[in-house]
Structure 1
């Protein structure tokens, strides 16, 4: 928006409606002052985050910010910033919105699942995003749960993953931090056949309602076929609305023992990963606030703790991880032993091979104690 020289005219509208001037945003604002006066919200962009945020605030009164943590940069080819610089600026943008009391969504965890990362990484990232939002002063955190990702996940194991994310986030809630649950169908999961796509949208929505969402982000059934036209949006919303009305007038519980067991497995692994983060700090300054330090967060990806198969040959991530769908869930896969591997096992292997990159538990405890004494 602020770099006209970098705009590629041939790609105008590839990601939606091209908004090029302040008057474009004001026209959108005027258009919504009718009917049921809908809220408007928009993604953060890929640079100039605070300048963009101010523009959104002055024009469409952005209902909530959607800011990534590790993505939309050079790592995935969707932005100009390096990984570490984008993390730094994303954290600054989250803090800016928190000071303005604007709700924040950190649209990050499903980005790992879209690249076939194991379920435990997506769960850990959601927990991390909640921790970061709370530490940066966000009062209302929009938790986006993108279901059906990877698309070959089964409905039951997919729901178990979302239940794990939600349970971890709920441990953070108090009078100053509220979680607003937003669900959506996986963008890569919709069939090309439009009849099947409508069925999938309805079925996926029914599963999503099990976590009692506050917001439903309707993915148009035409996602795999063509860019949504107004009639497609209206039809998709009608399908979702019917499912909501029928499901909420019923007393159906679809959560079973297998889902509960998988949920607990994921919670255990995610907690272990998040508890490891302070050991990535390399000095007392980083250790003071490791969860909101961009250098520490960068090492999560750099060392392969957060990894995905699609990052192979990527200069920012490791891309060494292998994954496989087993019984509907996405696991790390050990190609040597030909068996699934949980994330604690996989990451312990990384620590063993690169112990110099991780503070030992003893060193971490000593640094932590020293820091507490200095703070006193």
Structure 2
């Protein structure tokens, strides 16, 4: 069913509501836009339909959307359980056939696309044959476009060519793999400081020890098995925690909990749908996992309901290494929590004050969530700074700065360096009331190939990129969030987590040796990275200045809501609450030269000064209206 795209065709994109992963669709949308083809996102009610068995009346609802939107190709993305993904897609295909929407029945839809995990893609191809073109996430940009049916002459040369820096890092990653450098990595000796490996241990003590012994960054990895049998999943998590602790490679266990753990902790879950992650329901289970994990430190997700209360439970039962908050996210804005944006921000700012009282660090999970929804590089930087300043205003004394690289995956390495360096530069020159900043970079969710050997090389290449953020500082980064190499194919178990940590350590050591010998470029003096940072940092500082001039109490919950509502942080690919926040979704973005820019209808970049001036006017108007209400 693969046919060449014609001028004027429209590609519809469907994503089941239960799947929170949006980045792959954003990438496809951007790629097709660069080639002159339009995409339309299915509205929320269409996405929700394919989460359940379809009724006869649902067929007409789907048909009405397809015809009214002018859809001629239909893409479907589901990156959770492979069996569920194919089942949901088959429901959609059945509905299209029942309403004669496919081209072989005289309908408008000329091609179907399925994007999912490799196992799901294989199953979809086996069941549906040439009805569907499948995408496992491993395709290069030009391969993706060809499979979508884009004529070769419409694909730009820049899409086919990789940047020299990115090619060099991937070549380095292959060298790490072929030489087996990770095999030589051994567990580090336990520290001897008082409290090590006990329930009174702290991140600060662990960081101080690692720095004093020259051990390099602490390693954190995310782990959370899911099973429909809840108690079996918890038992498996306890066993995995023991395995990782005994292996001795991982420093910080990041506990990946389920959606109901975050929203209904300690409550009756009967009849409630749950999302992926370990389904922890009570405090005893938290404590059992944390004890099994010793001597590792433990951290986990915040709640999406009663956020301060769950933070207190995490403090008491986990001795949590640091707390994590997403501020604008995990609420009605992204469909992952029950609160509206205003209530969510109030809960998070209140939780910041509690975190400050504990003396524990805070990790804002912020900039990458904006990027998942189509934000530009300026928004990446500004959102990180806003979250840090809000935390400082609440009294938080230590910030774990998580920065997700390779997001979207077509981002160039030098653009990533400019982003993170800009954040660090602005924060270090800000009045943060003495707040400590600890850098924690990570590879992107959408970056890794399902080809496991290629993914291992990509992990090493991403590790090199992390080390190039501050190549002159041997203590940076202080923490690395290790994304396991197999995540694009299947859930990482302890052996894959340990191997990923060893690859990361080996890559960092080898990369630093090569830099010392002058065999690789020292990116501290790379002119392109410096020039990109200069422009990006200037635009981010301008945006922050305009925010502080036009938004009353910008680092309060209401101020952060107003910043979003006024359009300072554009998210054109937001799936939820679009009518509530029209200014936030009004602008479009595009990947230009490896960086994401805000563009006009013709695809031309809009100057930041122009955009933020308009947002400032809107903010003042909204603030006046709020004052009168």
TM-score band (shorter)? 0.7 to 0.9
Q: Secondary structure at the match of 2:507?
A: helix
1:276 is matched with which residue: 531, 546, 567? 546
Q: Please name the residue that 1:119 is paired with.
A: 377
Q: Please name the residue that 1:28 is paired with.
A: 289
User: 1:277, 1:296 within 8 Å by CA — same for their partners in 2?
Assistant: no
Please say if 1:343 is aligned against 2:593.
no
Q: Secondary structure at the match of 2:573?
A: helix
TM-score normalized by the length of structure 1: 0.86
Q: Say if 1:168 and 1:327 are closer, same or farther in 2 by CA, change over 3 A.
A: same
Q: Please name the residue that 1:97 is paired with.
A: 355
Q: Compare 117-126 and 343-352 and name the one that shifted more.
A: 343-352
User: 1:218, 1:236 within 8 Å by CA — same for their partners in 2?
Assistant: yes
Q: Please name the residue that 2:565 is paired with.
A: 302
Give the distance between the partners of 2:311 and 2:270, measured in 1 at CA. Answer: 20
Task: Note the alpha carbon deviations across 1:94-149, whole angstroms, 9 max, x for none.
Answer: 11101111111111111111222000011011111221121111111111111011
User: 1:301, 1:316 within 8 Å by CA — same for their partners in 2?
Assistant: no
5+ residue gaps, structure 1, are: 282-286, 360-376
Q: Say if 1:191 and 1:40 are closer, same or farther in 2 by CA, change over 3 A.
A: same
> 1:292, CA displacement in angstroms?
2.6
> 1:219, CA displacement in angstroms?
0.6
> 1:3, CA displacement in angstroms?
6.1
Give the distance between the partners of 2:286 and 2:489, measured in 1 at CA. Answer: 28
Please say if 1:246 is aligned against 2:510.
yes
Give the distance between the partners of 2:382 and 2:330, measured in 1 at CA. Answer: 19
> RMSD between aligned alpha carbons?
2.1
> 1:351, CA displacement in angstroms?
4.6
> 1:355, CA displacement in angstroms?
6.4
Please say if 1:107 is aligned against 2:107.
no
Q: Say if 1:173 and 1:222 are closer, same or farther in 2 by CA, change over 3 A.
A: farther
2:481 is matched with which residue: 188, 200, 217? 217
Q: What pairs up with 1:52-71 in 2 under 5 angstroms?
A: 52-71=310-329
TM-score normalized by the length of structure 2: 0.52
Q: What pairs up with 1:194-233 in 2 under 5 angstroms?
A: 194-211=452-469, 212-233=476-497
Q: Please name the residue that 2:10 is paired with.
A: none
Q: Please name the residue that 2:449 is paired with.
A: 191
5+ residue gaps, structure 2, are: 1-263, 470-475, 625-629
Q: Please name the residue that 2:534 is paired with.
A: 264
Give the distance between the partners of 2:290 and 2:367, measured in 1 at CA. Answer: 30
Q: Please name the residue that 2:265 is paired with.
A: 2
Q: Please name the residue that 1:327 is paired with.
A: 593
Q: Secondary structure at the match of 1:201?
A: helix
User: 2:562, 2:622 within 8 Å by CA — same for their partners in 1?
Assistant: no
Question: 4+ residue stretches of structure 1 with deviation over 4 A?
Answer: 5-10, 350-355
Please say if 1:73 is aligned against 2:331.
yes
2:302 is matched with which residue: 44, 49, 69? 44
User: 1:222, 1:228 within 8 Å by CA — same for their partners in 2?
Assistant: yes
